[in-house]
Structures are given as C-alpha cells and as structure tokens.
Structure 1
C-alpha cells in the first residue's frame, strides 16, 4: 500500500472516531438538558410560581394539599351526625319521618283501640 493510502485511511479512521465521540457527547448532553428541564418543571410545581403578565400565579404543592384538606374537613362535617345542620342529620330526620308515615309491611300493623 502506498503512503498516501495509509494517510487517507488514518485520517478517515480518526474522523470516524471523533464523529462517534461527538455523537455520544451530543446524546449525553441532550439527556442532561432534558433532565434539568424536567427538574425545573418539578420544582416549579412543588414550590409554585409567581404571577407574571399574561399568566396567573400557581400555588405550590403544599398550598394545594392544604386547600384539599380544608375541603375534605367540610365534607367530613356533612357525613357525621352533629348539631343537626349536617347532611347526615337531614337524611336521618327524613328517614324517621318516612318510617312514621309508611311503616314497614313486615312489622305487625298498628291497631286502633276499640271505640268506647
């Protein structure tokens, strides 16, 4: 083989290796950039974001969880009998009135006392 051929092959091999290293570094760099963007999005969701022109403020995760817990306390208040103002108290009252109006058919019928 001639010296010119060997030189071309060496330079071609070197360029191929450098191209492969460059492609590998590009892929690693893209992966790092994507990971950093995802972490930034996560931290924005966790901590919340302040309002800016054209975009309202977004509460952070802890603020949202606190709001959900407050709503849940209101729902729990309605599910248990308490001072007479809950939904459960109203349902119980309706059931008592319904039993008085429509007695159970399986129960013995109430008889009026004979006239005196």
Structure 2
C-alpha cells in the first residue's frame, strides 16, 4: 500500500514533520517523568533530613532528628508525671496536698471552696447553668 500525495517534496516534509512530532512528544514525556522523579526525590530528601536531623553548618544551627525529639519528649513526660503524682514529697502534687491538709487543719469548719458552694447551690436550684452565670431576670410587666 503506497500512501503518497504525489508530490515528492510534500511527502518528505510530512515524514519529517511526523518524526519531529514523535521526538518532541517523547522528549516532553521524558521531561515530565524526570521532573516528577526529581520532585519526589526532593520530598524524600526533605523527609529524611527531618527524620535523621541535620548537622550544623556555617550560620545554621543543628536540627535534631525525630528520634532525638521523641527521646526529649519522653524525658519531659517523665518529669511532668513525677510532678503531678504523689511520691516522696518532692513533687508539686505533694506540695499542693500538704497545703490543702494545712488549710483544712486551720479552717476545719469551712467548706472546700466557694466554687463548690456555688455548684451545690446551683444543683439544689436545678438551674443547670455553670457556676457564676447569673439567672435571667423576669420580664418587666408593662401594664
């Protein structure tokens, strides 16, 4: 099957135009793949830099990696837990408990707090409002 236009110069232009179109199409596809891989590689590099941390450079401080940060958070969590649980008497919780015990010895007939008094009053009244929220005033009679 011979497909030609009958004009030799036109046939040559069409063949070269088709070849050029294929080459440009393949180059464009290759460029898009290379660009996507480059972008993905850059993102993976950023992730790994964050994961492992970075060494200090001139003018830039070192950044700890994820495992170093988790270790620091575990250490801080242990320190906070030590302060909020009763233990040997050196924690903040022990100091608060001791202060409450001293206050209870000084004022044994006083309720725990005014806030508890207000909550008890609100419960008895059945209002269901949070403490400190005033009840609405009755509507004015315009007669």
TM range (shorter): 0.7 to 0.9
Cα RMSD, aligned residues only: 1.9
Where in structure 2 are the equivalents of 1:5-84 lying within 5 Å? 5-84=10-89
> Structure 2: which 5+ runs fail to align?
121-143
Whole-angstrom distance in 1 between the partners of 2:103 and 2:13: 100
Q: Which contiguous aligned blocks of 4+ residues in structure 1 show a shift greater than 6 angstroms?
A: none
Aligned residues: 106
Q: Tell me the TM-score normalised to structure 2 length.
A: 0.66
Once the two structures are TM-superposed, the CA of residue 96 in structure 1 deviates from its matched residue by: 3.0
Question: Which residue matches 2:111?
Answer: 103
- Say which is worse superposed, 6-15 or 84-93, in terms of deviation: 84-93
Q: Deviations over 1:34-74 (max 9, x none)?
A: 11111211221122211111111111211111111111100
> Structure 1: which 5+ runs fail to align?
107-116
Whole-angstrom distance in 1 between the partners of 2:75 and 2:30: 50
- Structure with more of its chain in helix, by fraction: 1
Q: Tell me the TM-score normalised to structure 1 length.
A: 0.80
Whose relative contact order is higher, 1 or 2, with alpha carbons under 8 Å and at least 6 apart? 1
Once the two structures are TM-superposed, the CA of residue 97 in structure 1 deviates from its matched residue by: 3.8
